[in-house]
């Protein structure tokens, strides 16, 4: 057992930014991470500092920060680790990621340095600390200027004395969801409720077009052992629906652990799901539980199930049929886990093509829930969602005024088919906030180029060969992902190297037309 200090990098306070530049120009030596090492680390008896960052783009600057600390304090182990979070203000996502990480390190004594990170990250530390029952301490620092002796101090949060009942937080979230379902309202804040979370907002809009599937989800939730298959295009809200099934089920006090099957290679996925015993393969230094064991009593969400290999399909079938897992190199064990799987693919078609096992499909699809695409929803509902997201982002980005769209801009937005569904619309609204001035009227010309393409999204000059069409499609998806190829690869269901190859082809084609 080791004593680990765990913290997020403080994106704004650990680094110094030059006005007008997005990239950090240097490390802030009076920032929370450097200061912690200067004043408190030595006395804490830590074996290692795990410095978490949430975005792959922050890798370099986190490494610089870790290096500086290592240089200033030779012998200290500082490990930068990516804990990827797509939406740093989503309590659902951040909390799940943090809980999963902590459960994976449960054998250690864990000191959670609470001060750095977004308010949702802080709230998630707090919830994990008070609800997971692990050996965690929650510490924060107070700057010297607030202490009479002018020296910074370290405070451990005494949760038993806390005035914030956790049930209040959970209840508030549910009320927020219900409120959102009843009427469209600007996201509201309740400072009395959660001091640590000024950005918490209503997260979901239960549109009439979604009510049927959410009604079915509530019914399915009550049937405890039933496996569920959620189908829907990327960004339609599959993860949200899966979590709702868990939260409405009798298992809601137990873990809910999501995993994206498409993002991992076969062997990594297998060891993450089922665990391994010490010595099972090179580098397996200790027995490690898999997610199925960690989720015992609760729910596991297997996202992008359609992409797993035939070998893993066979293993998973045994797990779902017998409730039995076998860690790599270990003995079979019984687990009690509800499986919710999701896919963007047409699994029936894949079964027909021999790419997915029929028996596994029938086992998973005991209850099948299908989410509509954004373009299938009626125009007025899309309009409501747009308004909802405008208010939601206004609250989370702490803008004084909501985004103002010219009528023609709104029309264009509502006519666009949004292949990335709600996530794409959500990202677009955020981009418009980021790149516009407060009170600027957003004109059609301010919208990204892809929204101006003709209906088919293909210009007349485009080559009609299949290769060119594929390359153009890949380029469009990469653009929709803000240039992040890894994310595009995930959406497209292909390897990132293939994405690069298509982009290269597309560039060549563009240069010759």
Would you call 170 helix, strand, or coil by DSSP? helix
Residues 327-356 vs ligand ATP: string with x where CB under 6 A?
A: -----------------x------------
* 143 touches ligand ATP by CB under 6 A: no
Considering the complex, state which of residue 196 and residue 340 has its C-beta at the smaller distance from ligand ATP.
340
Joined together, the tokens standing for residue 40 give 């408190």
- Judged by CB under 6 A, the stretch of 227-235, 286-294, 318-326, 458-466 that binds ligand ATP is 227-235
Rounded to whole angstroms, the Cα distance separating 475 from 465 reads 15
Which residue in 89, 110, 205, 369 binds ligand ATP (CB under 6 A)? 205
442: phi > 0 → left, psi -120 to 50 → alpha, else beta; which? beta
Residue placing its CB nearer to ligand ATP in the complex, 14 or 387: 387
Of 5 and 395, which CB lies nearer to ligand ATP in the complex structure?
A: 395
C-beta closer to ligand ATP: residue 129 or 423: 423
Q: Which stretch binds ligand ATP (CB under 6 A): 200-208, 292-300, 457-465, 494-502?
A: 200-208
| Contact by Cβ (8 Å): 130, 166 | yes
The tokens for 425 are: 């619309």
Among 235, 298, 306, 419, binds ligand ATP (CB under 6 A): 235
Residue 303 interacts with ligand ATP (CB under 6 A): yes or no: yes
What is the number of residues in the chain?
513
**Among residues 80 and 228, whose Cβ is nearest to ligand ATP?**
228
Beta-ladder partners of 16:
26
Of residues 35 and 480, the one with the C-beta less far from ligand ATP: 480
How many whole angstroms separate alpha carbon 323 and alpha carbon 61?
44
Selection from 317, 303, 309 nearest residue 232 by Cα: 303
Closest CB 98 distance from ligand ATP, rounded Å: 17
Which residues of 85-206 form beta strands (DSSP E)? 109-113, 136-142, 153-156
Does position 37 bind ligand ATP by CB under 6 A?
no
CA–CA separation, 56 and 61 (whole Å): 10
Angle 280-285-290 from CA coordinates, rounded to 5°: 65
Q: Which of 87, 143, 172, 368 binds ligand ATP (CB under 6 A)?
A: 87
Helix (H, G, I), strand (E, B) or coil at 417: coil
**Secondary structure class of 260 (helix, strand, coil):** strand
> Using an 8 Å Cβ cutoff, are 345 and 306 in contact?
yes
Q: What is the DSSP string of 11-39?
A: TTTSEEE-TT-SSEEEE-TTSHHHHHHHH
| Helix axes of 421-435 and 379-396: crossing angle, nearest 10 degrees | 50
Considering only the stretches 231-239, 282-290, 313-321, 470-478, report the one whose residues sit in contact with ligand ATP under the rule CB under 6 A: 231-239
Burial (Cβ within 10 Å: 0-12, 13-18, ≥19) of residue 109:
middle
> Is 247 among the residues that bind ligand ATP (CB under 6 A)?
no
Asked if 239 touches ligand ATP (CB under 6 A), the answer is yes
Instruction: Name every residue whose Cβ is closer than 8 Å to that of residue 343 and which is 6 or more positions away in sequence.
Output: 229, 230, 231, 304, 305, 306, 307
C-alpha 467/C-alpha 61 separation (Å) is 38
Q: Write down the least CB distance from residue 11 to ligand ATP, Å.
A: 20
Return the residue of 37, 76, 238, 476 that touches ligand ATP, per CB under 6 A.
Answer: 238
When asked if residue 204 is in the footprint of ligand ATP (CB under 6 A), the reply is: yes
Part of the chain binding ligand ATP (CB under 6 A), chosen from 43-51, 230-238, 406-414, 476-484:
230-238
Q: Which is nearer to ligand ATP, 292 or 388 (CB)?
A: 388
Number of chain residues interacting with ligand ATP (CB under 6 A): 19
Q: Are the beta carbons of 69 and 27 closer than 8 angstroms?
A: no
Give the nearer residue to ligand ATP in terms of CB position, either 238 or 251: 238
Residue 88 found at the interface with ligand ATP (CB under 6 A):
no
97 binds ligand ATP (CB under 6 A): no
Q: Give which of 170, 189, 89, 90 is closest to 131, Cα–Cα.
A: 170
Closest approach, Cβ 486 to ligand ATP, in A, equals 13
CB of 477 to ligand ATP, least distance (A): 12
Contact between 251 and ligand ATP (CB under 6 A)?
no
Residue 47, both tokens = 């074996």
Smallest separation, CB 346 to ligand ATP (Å): 14
* Nearer Cβ to ligand ATP (5/180): 180
Range in contact with ligand ATP (rule: CB under 6 A) among 129-137, 147-155, 404-412, 419-427: 419-427
Assigned token pair, 137: 């301490």
Residue 237 as a binder of ligand ATP (CB under 6 A): the answer is: yes
Asked if 258 touches ligand ATP (CB under 6 A), the answer is no
Closest to 417 (Cα-Cα) out of 382, 468, 392: 382
* Residues binding ligand ATP (CB under 6 A): 87, 203-205, 207, 210, 232, 234-240, 303, 344, 422-423, 426
């Amino acid at each position: 057992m080791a004593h680990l200090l765990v913290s997020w990098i403080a994106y704004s306070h650990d680094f110094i930014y030059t006005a007008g530049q997005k990239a950090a120009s240097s490390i802030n030596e009076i920032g929370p991470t450097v200061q912690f090492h200067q004043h408190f680390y030595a006395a804490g008896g830590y074996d290692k500092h795990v410095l978490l960052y949430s975005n792959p783009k922050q890798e370099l600057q986190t490494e610089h920060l870790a290096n500086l600390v290592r240089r200033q304090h030779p012998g200290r182990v500082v490990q930068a680790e990516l804990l990827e979070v797509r939406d740093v203000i989503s309590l659902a996502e951040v909390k799940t990621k943090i809980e999963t990480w902590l459960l994976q390190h449960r054998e250690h004594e864990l000191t959670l340095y609470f001060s750095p990170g977004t308010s949702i990250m802080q709230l998630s530390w707090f919830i994990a600390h008070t609800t997971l029952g692990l050996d965690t301490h929650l510490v924060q620092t107070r700057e010297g200027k607030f202490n009479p002796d002018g020296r910074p101090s370290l405070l451990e949060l005494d949760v038993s004395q806390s005035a914030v009942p956790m049930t209040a937080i959970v209840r508030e979230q549910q009320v927020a969801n219900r409120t959102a379902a009843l009427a469209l309202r600007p996201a509201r804040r309740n400072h009395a409720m959660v001091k640590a979370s000024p950005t918490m907002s209503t997260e979901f809009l239960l549109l009439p077009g979604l009510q049927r599937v959410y009604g079915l989800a509530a019914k399915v939730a009550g049937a405890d052992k039933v496996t569920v298959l959620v189908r829907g295009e990327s960004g339609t809200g599959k993860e949200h629906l899966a979590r709702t099934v868990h939260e409405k089920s009798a298992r809601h006090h137990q873990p809910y652990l999501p995993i994206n099957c498409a993002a991992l290679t076969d062997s990594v996925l297998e060891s993450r799901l089922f665990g391994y015993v010490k010595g099972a393969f090179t580098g397996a230094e200790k027995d490690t539980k898999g997610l199925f064991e960690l989720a015992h009593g609760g729910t596991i969400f297997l996202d992008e199930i359609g992409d797993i290999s035939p070998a893993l399909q066979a293993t998973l079938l045994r797990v779902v049929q017998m409730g039995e897992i076998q860690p790599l190199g270990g003995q079979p064990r019984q687990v009690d886990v509800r499986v919710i799987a999701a896919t963007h693919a047409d699994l029936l078609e894949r079964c027909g093509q021999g790419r997915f096992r029929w028996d596994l499909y029938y086992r998973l699809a005991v209850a099948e829930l299908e989410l509509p695409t954004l373009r299938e929803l009626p125009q007025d509902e899309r309009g409501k969602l747009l308004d909802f997201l405008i208010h939601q982002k206004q609250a989370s980005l702490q803008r004084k005024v909501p985004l103002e769209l010219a009528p023609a801009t709104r029309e264009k937005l509502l006519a666009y088919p949004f292949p990335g569904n709600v996530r794409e619309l959500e990202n677009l609204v955020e981009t418009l906030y980021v790149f516009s001035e407060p009170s600027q009227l957003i004109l059609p010309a301010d919208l990204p180029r892809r929204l101006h393409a003709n209906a088919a999204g293909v210009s007349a000059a485009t080559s009609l060969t299949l290769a060119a069409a594929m390359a153009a499609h890949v380029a469009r998806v990469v653009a929709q992902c803000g240039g992040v190829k890894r994310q595009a690869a995930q959406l497209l269901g292909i390897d990132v190297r293939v994405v690069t190859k298509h982009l290269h082809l597309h560039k060549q084609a563009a240069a010759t037309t």
